[in-house]
Structure 1
Amino acid sequence: MKIAFIYIAEPYQCYHTASVASKLAAMPNCEVTEYYSFPETMEHLVRIRAALNEPNLEAHPLKKSWKAKFLKLAKRLDQERILVLRENVQALNCYDAIVATEYTAGILKKMGLKAKLILMMHGAGDRYVNDEHLVKEFDLTLISGKKTKEDFKRKGFIKDETTRVVGYPKFDVFEAIRKKQAHPFSDDCSFALYNPHYKRNLNSSPVFMNALIKGFTEQHKYNLVVAPHIKQFYKSFGIKKYRLKRLQSAKVLIDTGSPAMLDMTYTSQTSLYIGDVSSQIYEFLAIPRPCIFLNPQKIKWQDDPHFLHWTMGDVVEDIDDLMPAVEQAIERHALYRPTQEKLFKETFGYPLLGASQRAADAIMDFVAKSMASR
C-alpha cells in the first residue's frame, strides 16, 4: 500500500498530519511519502519527528514549473497552489491514496486524480471558508469532532459512510513537544496572547494592534505575545514583519514565524487569549481560561454559527473598552467557563490524545477495503 501526504500550503499544515503519517508508516506493508510546497516545511517535519521519537519519512518537493515559481514570487499563492496541484497529478496517481489537509486539494479529482483522496482536516474553528464545498470531492473525510461533522452534514458536504470522527492529531504533537517548552519571557510574569487572523474583512489588527501594544506596555499585570496567523506575512514582502518587529519591547514579544506560533506553545502557556476568528481559540481551550474577542467591524455575530466561539468570552468593538475588558477578564471567566467546556468537547471529543493512531487506523481500513474491491 502506497500513501502520499501532501502539504500544499504553509508549514503549519504538517502539525496536523505529520504524526498520522508516522503512525501509518509504522504499519506493515504501508509505504508513506510526503510532498511539500514550502521548503521550510522540511524543518518542521524534522522537528516534529524528533519530538515524537519517530524516523523521518521519504519527502520530496512538489514539482513546480517556471510559471508556478513566478506566481509564488509574486505572492499569488492561491493561483500557485492550484497550478502546482495540476502539475503533480500524474506523479500522485502512482499512489493508492493521497492525504491532504486543505480543501483546495479537492480539485485534484477534476484534474484527473485516480488515487483515493482523503481529507485530514486542520483547524477546528467556526469561520466560514469559501472553498469548504470542496469537501464533497474527497473519498474519505477525517474530522475532529461532532460539531464539524454536524455542520458539514447539514450543508450536504459529507455522508456518514465516508466520514470518520478521529479527534485532533495536533494534540499528540503538542504533547510530545511541550516537554521542551520554555517560557517566552525572562521574568515570571504571566502573559496574554494576541492571535489575529489574516482574513482582511475579519482581521482585528489594523484597528486594535497599536492600542493593544500601548495598553499592555502601560500596565503591570501581563506581558503580551503578538502571534498573528502566519498567512498575514506571505503577501507583504517582509514589510509587515519589519513594522511589527519595531513594536517589540521587554513586555511585548512579536512573533512572525517561529515554530512556537504553530505548535501550541503560546496557546498552552498564556493566561489570556485575545483574538478574532482564528481556530486556535479551540486549541487554547484545552485548559479553560479567559478570552476576549475583537470585533472592530461591528459584525452582527449573535446567532451566527460562524461566530459560535464568540460566545466564550467578552466581545469588544471599541478601543476604549479594550483594556477594561483585559482587566476584568479573570473575574468574568466564570460566566463563560461552562460554554467553553461544552464547545471544546463538541469540537474535539475525548480522549484528546491518540487521534493520530485513530486517524491512521481509519485511513488504513479505508484504503485496504478500496483496494480489495477493485
Structure 2
Amino acid sequence: MKGNYKIAIIFLDEIHHIYHFITTAIELSKTNEVHILTHTGDTRFLSEALAELNGDKVIVEKLPTAPFRAFTDKLKGRKLPRKGFWIKKHQEYILDNFDAILFTDYFHHYFLKARKHRPIKFIYVEHGTAGRAYSYQKDVLDFDLHLLSGESEYRSLKKMNLLNTNFKITGYCKLDAVRDLNTKAVFSNHKTTVLYNPHFSPPFSSWHFLGLEILEFFSNSEKYNLIFAPHINLFNKVGGDDISVIPKIYFKSPNIHIDLGSEKSVNMAYVKEADIYLGDVSSQVFEFITTPRPCVFLNTDNVEYKNDINYRFWKCGDVINTIGELDDALRTSSQKFQEKYKAIQEAITEENYYREEGSTASQRSAVAIIEYLDKNL
C-alpha cells in the first residue's frame, strides 16, 4: 500500500455530516495530504471535532462562494452557500489539484460533468445508515468507489442493481468518532427518558401530524422525561419549520429538553442517554439500537410498511398510529423489548455494521481508499 495522495473531502452541509467522514480523514492524513474543503461560514464544530480526535494533520481549506451569491445567501438567511454556485466557482481548482474527492451526499453532478479526461476519482460514503429509498438512488453508480457500512446495505444495493463495480464493506465510521466522547446527561432524576427523533421530511415525519400533541403528552407526564431532538434539518433547513410553532411553555417544562440542532443532537449524546426511542423514519434508530433498548414508532400516515424495505427499522419495536396509543406503547415497551425485539435489534445491528477485530471502520475505510487509488491511479 503506497499512499501519498492528495484527497479532498467536500463539506458544505449541516454538522450532522461531520462524524461520517472525520475519522476516515484523520486516518488518511497519516500517509496522505487531506483537505476538508468547506465554506467561509461558521465551522467551529468541525475544528473542535478535529482537535478532539487528534486530527491536526487534516487541512481545513475555506473557499468562498462568489460575492454576489454570498450577498443573496445572506438576504435569504442561508447559513450555508448553495452548493451548485460554490462548486462551479471552485470545480476546476479541485479537479486539477486532487487525486480523489470524498462525498457524503449526492452533490457530485457538476464535478462529474466537468471531470472529462481527468484521472481524479470520486468516492462515496453515506451520511448515515442506509434506510429509506434516499439511500438507494441510481446516482450511487456515478462514483468510482463506494464504501458500505454492512451486509444489509450490500444486499439491498445488489438486489436493486445499484452495486458499484468498486465497493468495500468497511463499517460505520461514526461509531469510531463518538466512541470516547463524554457528555453530561440532561436529566439527573430517576424517570424513564424518551428520545423523540422525528424526521424532517413532511411526507414521512410524525412531527407534522402529531408533534405538538407529543410534547403536550410529555409535559403532563410525571413518569417520563423527554428529549426532543429532531433531525437537524427539521428546523435548520431553509424551508423547514419555524421554531415559533413550538409553544414556549414546552421549553420551560422541567421534564422536557428541546434541542433543534446543537452538537449534542448529532454526537449520539442523547442516543446514549435515552431509555426509549420514539420516532418515525429517521435512521438514527439504527445508532440507538447498537445498545439494544425499547423503541416505539409512529406511523401517522398509515403506511403499508410490513413488506417494505424502506421501513425495516420498524421491526425494532411496536408501531402505533395515534397519540391515544402512546401511553400504552411506552408502558409495555420494556416487556415487549425483552420478549420480542431485543433479538431482532441485535440481528439488525449485526447486518448494518461490519466489525472486525483488530481494526476500526475508519482504518478499514482509509485502507480501502488508498488501495483503490494505488490500483487505479
TM-score by length of 1: 0.90
Residue 303 of structure 2 aligns to a residue whose secondary structure is: coil
Map residues 132-143 of structure 1 onto 2, 5 A cutoff: 132-143=137-148
- 1:367 matched to 2:368: no
The sequence identity of aligned pairs, in percent, is 29
Contact persistence 1:125–1:278 (CA under 8 A): no
- Is 1:346 equivalent to 2:351 in the alignment? yes
CA displacement at 1:67 relative to structure 2: 5.5
Q: Do the aligned partners of 1:75 and 1:235 also contact (CA within 8 Å) in 2?
A: no
Mark the CA change 1:239 to 1:315 in structure 2 (over 3 Å): closer, same or farther: closer
Task: Give yes or no for contact 1:125–1:282 (8 Å, CA) kept in 2.
Answer: no
Aligned to 2:279: 275
Amino acid at match of 2:330: V
| Counterpart residue number, 1:292 | 296
Q: CA deviation at 1:38?
A: 7.3
CA distance change for structure 1 residues 62 and 163 in 2, over 3 Å: closer, same or farther? same
Partner of 2:204: 202
Residue 305 of structure 1 and its aligned partner are, at CA, apart by 0.6
Counterpart-to-counterpart distance in 2, 1:108 and 1:32: 18
Q: How far did 1:166 drift?
A: 0.5
Q: Which residue is 2:101 aligned to?
A: 98
Equivalent residue number for residue 309 of structure 1: 313
Whole-angstrom CA distance in 2 between matches of 1:26 and 1:79 = 30
Query: What is the CA-CA distance between 1:131 and the residue it aligns to?
Result: 7.7
Unaligned segments of structure 1, at least 5 residues? none
1:54, 1:107 → 2: CA distance? 29
Q: Secondary structure at the match of 1:6?
A: strand
**Residue in structure 1 matched with residue 61 of structure 2 by the alignment:** 60
State the secondary structure of the residue aligned to 2:124: strand
Show the counterpart of 1:169.
173
Deviation at 1:344, TM superposition (A): 1.1
Distance 1:190 1:362, change over 3 A: same
* Post-superposition offset of 1:120: 1.7
- Is the counterpart of residue 51 in structure 1 residue 52 in structure 2? yes
Give distance in 1, aligned partners of 2:280 and 2:184.
Answer: 26
Q: Assess if the C-alpha contact under 8 Å between 2:192 and 2:275 holds in 1.
A: yes
Correspondences of 1:181-220 after superposition (within 5 Å): 181-220=183-222
Taking structure 2 as the reference length, what is the TM-score of the superposition?
0.90
Tell me how far apart the structure 2 counterparts of residues 73 and 171 of structure 1 sit (CA, whole Å). 38
1:220 Cα offset (Å): 2.5
- Structure 1 distance, partners of 2:75, 2:261, is 18
State the alpha-carbon separation in 2 of the partners of residues 226 and 38 from structure 1: 30
Deviations 1:110-144 (A, max 9, x none): 23363100002221142111883211110000010
Cα deviation, 1:67-116, whole Å, max 9, x if unaligned, reads: 64335753789992233223321121110000111122255212336310
Q: Give the letter for the 1:99 counterpart.
A: L
Match for residue 229 of structure 2?
A: 227
